[in-house]
Chain A
């Protein structure tokens, strides 16, 4: 079957099946996607853009500053992944800020505890 000929090392990004859906990613396609994601996010960091997906303003700014990186990102990852990672970036930032805020107020953020014993 031509479905699983996942030799996408030529840089063509995730393959699509006959009905247009993406095939399940392999380790190498995932790696490729992560790399283009990191490159795009680095570009966003350089241009001081946090949100590239949720607002029209953010989308425009990202397209203007990091258009090529964004296109490479879209090319190497399934569209659902692109959206997921862009939203995750915002969420992760907010999480970081919340933790910093709590710690600045003298609180402590505890990692989830292991159920049996504490010395594991």
Chain B
């Protein structure tokens, strides 16, 4: 209960404190106007007839009336300008003290510099990515990837057209791979999850087998399910696989005639190929990348893509 009166009292005190400031200002204006009014009649009288004096007095009255009006205006104007002037003086003092630098200017400067730096760094990286992405666009460029006609791990026909509209991450491997492919497929699963987190379900992870003799759709399905249910396995005839590997510039060493029951390993290139939604090669990601680095590169490329992307999953 005591807080409210004290608040009011505080406000009253504040008003009292504020009024004396205004009053001298008004007085000062009054005084200056009065002195100017007093100086006008002698000038008007000088060198004039009595008749004119009367007229002049009338004029003076008019002038004084006008002056009164002006005085009122001036009072309003002067009182506000007076306050403004006070403020400026403070500002001038502050400026004299610290030069043209104050906190606002410093924050603005740092923010602008930071913003420009970030923007130019981002643009530089984007241009570099675009250069990589566009290296295989157009005529006369080295071509990685191309049309293929294979079978997915569910036994359905799968061609390059099924990938249009989405990014794809293509890996070549085989299920009997001793150590590298399992590691890389684990990484692929991580990459897929990270990219999905950042960009949505816009990238298909694909494993194309280099060992079609042993990797039937059933084998691939069983094998890949352990890594990630989203990874799509592709197999096909030896000829089709060979053609696909050739298009992707993948070296592999599966003997074309494998005896049943033969135990062998396949030597093959170990790169992830990032393909854009038009089926063009974007970038090859090697073993030296961690899943995080790779996912970031892929996400950056996906964010650069300006054309429509199919977000719905066709295979789920």
Q: Which A residues are within 8 Å of any B CB, using their own CB? A: 1, 3-4, 6, 16-17, 19-27, 30, 33-34, 77-81, 84-85, 111-112, 114-117, 120
Contact = CB atoms under 8 A, between A and B. Distances in A.
A95 B82 CA distance: 85
Interface stretch (B59-67, B93-101, B158-166, B211-219): B211-219
B20 interface: no
Interface stretch (B30-38, B239-247, B255-263): B255-263
A115 B132 CA distance: 9
A30 B182 contact: yes
A114 B215 contact: no
Identify the interface centre among B125, B178, B214, B297: most chain A CB within 10 Å of its CB: B178
Interface string B272-303: 00000000000100101100010011001000
B226 A84 contact: no
A120 B286 contact: no
Contacts of A111: 288
B137 interface: no
B291 to A, nearest CB: 13
Interface string B228-270: 0000000000000000000000000000000011111100000
B40 interface: no
A90 to B, nearest CB: 15
Contact of B132 (A24, A27, A85, A116): A116
B218 A21 contact: no
A77 B132 CA distance: 42
A120 B264 contact: no
Nearest to B226: A27
Interface residues of B, number: 30
Contact of A85 (B175, B178, B283): B178
A24 B219 contact: yes
B128 interface: yes
A102 B164 CA distance: 47
Nearest to B124: A117
A21 B129 contact: no
B293 A78 contact: no
Contact of A4 (B214, B218, B261): B218
B222 A4 contact: yes
Interface in B5-55: none
Given A3-B218, A114-B293, A22 B182 contact: no
B288 A115 contact: no
B218 A116 contact: no
A3 B221 CA distance: 13
A80 B289 contact: no
Of A22, A24, A27, A111, chain B has the most CB atoms within 10 Å of the CB of A24
A111 B286 CA distance: 12
Contacts of B175: 24-25
A21 B260 contact: yes
Nearest to B175: A24
Contact of A20 (B132, B182, B261, B296): B261
Contacts of A80: 176, 178, 263-265
Contacts of A23: 219
A18 B132 CA distance: 48
A120 B296 contact: yes
Given A24-B219, A24-B223, 6 more contacts: A16-B261, A26-B226, A81-B265, A84-B265, A112-B288, A116-B125
